Structure 1
């Protein structure tokens, strides 16, 4: 079911405000667009995980507990190395202004900005 014209405009305004005001949240949830994966870390992680599986199976087959435990730890470390994002593509955080510092909404503020300001005033007991 398609959105009405008013709903479409409201959705677009909410998206613009989200990208403008909550850059940290967008970066954490959506990631940085256009950033290439670190293939070296992925290959290293897969190799560590495969070595860990081999050590785990070898430890179980030989019934030597410490080799099995070391294999599991190696496997876990490999998965962490492969899936942990690198710091190379991280963007510098933008300076944020505190919306609760102003007592009235900013002129030209969007719908979500006005709603956030009203919410902040209610929480502070000023409304």
Structure 2
């Protein structure tokens, strides 16, 4: 867990505590992302389409995820490039951090799906 950029001892402990020790709890990375509130929600009806953030989520995991994403900006040039790319296309700061957190959770999911 500490090999990820931006994760310290307290951040890693909080992430592991919120995800839990049941490795089969989330079958896919999408399930973990939705639980954390990092995945966007899409509502479509007819010609209208809304893509926005989730309001129902694990708030503690979401908060530590934003801290993780923000701390990874200084520790990883790839994370910083992804964040800057999103910001230059017109995304807000929190949108860019949420997308970065979403990406990092996708990389974390194979670790949580492994058996002990």
The TM-score normalised by the length of structure 2 is 0.25
Structure scoring higher RCO (CA < 8 A, sep ≥ 6) equals 2
Q: Give the structure with the higher percent helix.
A: 1
In the superposition, the TM-score normalised over structure 1's length comes to: 0.23
